[in-house]
């Protein structure tokens, strides 16, 4: 079997297992907790006896609490695979899937550009710092400080500076109240105007981490034997850096997996600061209002996003690092 194929099979297996485990966790936790979840949920509707009657039937059916556990588990899987995540308590009677569907585009429009832009700019700045010792002594503390900042605190800082002090950008929301989402130029302009601060919060904090990683790798690589050898051969500075940069790149791709988890979590908190209507904001509403269906649904969406992104990164990795392919070929004999 070819190396790449073995690699793919292995990765697919791990990701399937992870997804399986995540859904199981999502299933188990409300059932493990002490107390009666249905009672807690129904107490919210104490003033609406009609709704209570309907909801009680619905909840018992949805949780299937009268059935044996394995049957509950199977029906939970069945529901998840059919995209049925129940009905939200807080946004009653909206289905959770519908709420999440409306939120996801806002997340992707923040996460993807932030990840890609911070990766490129961070690596670029980090390489400069790694190469230039004088610049490094100024840049390194800045990178560290950015990396050390909680995402949402950085968001607060930006909104204090750019909204309160300078009044340049709006404080909350994804678009102005008076405007209806459409593909018009007017809406896009308004949308970008609201998008910039949440984006910058994610971008800046991420950038710090990438830059530090790249800086360390470049310093490490520049001292490596192959670079010394190239230098002895009389290769130009440009050629040296090109080779060092290429090798330093690999850990930066592996690092995407860990950073992505942090970024998704950071995204949740940043959205709360700006009342930005993505998954993070929805999740917060779920937590504040003990809307378990909403929390479950948001958890699943977050897990799925991260899994898909990680899988893509792993594929990318196999493409750029020939060692991955060969190592799996050798193992296969």
Partner 1 sequence: MSLKRTLRIALKNSKFKVGIAIVTIMAIFALLGPLTTPFDNMGYYPIKFGSTTFPKPTTPSLPPMSQDTVYGPSGVVNVTHYLGTDSFGRDIYAQLTYGMRSSFFIGIVAGGLATLLGLLIGFVAGYKGGWTDESLMILTNIMLVIPTMALLIIIAAYLPYRGTGIESLIIGLTAWPWAARAVRAQTLSLKNREFVNLARLSGLSDLRIIFDQIMPNMVSYVFMVFILQFGGSILAAVGLDFIGLGPTRGMSLGIMLQQAVLWNAVTLGYWWWAIPPGLVIAILITGLYFINTGLDEVFNPRLRRGGE
Of the pair 44, 188, the CB lying nearest partner 1 is at 44
Of the pair 30, 83, the CB lying nearest partner 1 is at 30
Using DSSP's 3-state secondary structure scheme, residue 181 falls into: coil
Q: Which residues contact 181 (CB under 8 A, 6 or more apart)?
A: 175, 187, 191
Per the CB < 8 A criterion, the answer to whether 264 and 226 are in contact is no
Question: How open is the CA angle 39-40-43, to the nearest 5 degrees?
Answer: 80
Q: At what angle do helices 69-81 and 3-32 cross, to 10 degrees?
A: 120
User: What string marks each residue from 183 to 202 as x (binds partner 1 by CB under 8 A) or -?
Assistant: --------------------
Does 163 bind partner 1 (CB under 8 A)? Our answer is: yes
- Select the residue interacting with partner 1 from 100, 103, 302, 318 (CB under 8 A): 302
Does 148 bind partner 1 (CB under 8 A)? Our answer is: yes
Does 251 bind partner 1 (CB under 8 A)? Our answer is: no
Per the CB < 8 A criterion, the answer to whether 31 and 73 are in contact is no
Q: At what angle do helices 237-273 and 225-232 cross, to 10 degrees?
A: 140
Shortest separation between residue 142's beta carbon and partner 1, angstroms:
10
- Whether omega for the bond prior to residue 93 falls within 30 degrees of 0, making it cis, is yes
Does 272 bind partner 1 (CB under 8 A)? Our answer is: yes
Task: Return phi, psi of residue 87, to 5°.
Answer: -110, 135
Distance CA 109, CA 116 (A): 12
Of the pair 51, 140, the CB lying nearest partner 1 is at 140
- Select the residue interacting with partner 1 from 1, 9, 33, 135 (CB under 8 A): 33
Binding region for partner 1 (CB under 8 A): 14-15, 17-18, 21-22, 25-26, 29-30, 32-35, 133, 141, 144-145, 147-154, 156-157, 159-160, 163-164, 171, 212, 216, 219-220, 223, 257-258, 260-262, 264-266, 268-269, 272-273, 283-284, 286-288, 290, 292, 295-296, 299, 302-303, 306-307, 310
């Amino acid at each position: 079997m070819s190396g790449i194929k073995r690699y793919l099979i292995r990765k697919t297996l791990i990701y399937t297992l992870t997804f399986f485990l995540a859904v199981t966790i999502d299933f188990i936790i409300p059932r493990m907790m002490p107390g009666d979840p249905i009672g807690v949920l129904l107490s919210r509707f104490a003033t609406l006896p009609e709704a209570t009657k309907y909801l009680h039937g619905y909840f018992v059916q949805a949780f299937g609490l009268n059935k044996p556990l394995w049957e509950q588990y199977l029906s939970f899987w069945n529901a998840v695979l059919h995209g049925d995540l129940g009905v939200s308590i807080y946004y009653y009677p909206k289905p959770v899937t519908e709420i999440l569907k409306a939120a996801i585009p806002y997340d992707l429009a923040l996460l993807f550009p932030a990840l890609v832009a911070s990766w490129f700019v961070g690596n670029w700045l980090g390489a400069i710092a790694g190469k230039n010792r004088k610049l490094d002594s100024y840049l390194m503390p800045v990178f560290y400080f950015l990396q050390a900042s909680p995402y949402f605190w950085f968001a607060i800082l930006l909104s204090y500076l750019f909204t309160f002090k300078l009044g340049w950008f709006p404080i909350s929301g994804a678009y102005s109240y008076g405007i209806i989402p459409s593909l018009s130029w007017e809406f896009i302009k308004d949308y970008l105007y609201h998008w910039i601060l949440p984006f910058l919060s994610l971008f800046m904090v991420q950038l710090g981490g990438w830059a530090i990683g790249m800086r360390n790798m470049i310093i490490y690589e520049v001292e490596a034997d192959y670079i010394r050898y190239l230098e002895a051969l009389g290769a130009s500075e440009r050629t040296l850096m090109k080779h060092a940069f290429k090798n330093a790149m690999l850990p930066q791709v592996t690092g995407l997996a860990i950073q992505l988890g942090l970024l998704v979590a950071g995204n949740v908190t940043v959205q709360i600061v700006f009342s930005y209507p993505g998954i993070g904001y929805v999740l917060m509403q779920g937590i504040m209002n003990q809307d378990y269906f909403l929390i479950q649904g948001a958890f699943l969406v977050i897990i799925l996003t991260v899994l898909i992104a990680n899988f893509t990164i792993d594929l990318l990795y196999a493409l750029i690092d020939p060692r991955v392919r060969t190592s799996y070929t050798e193992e296969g004999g």
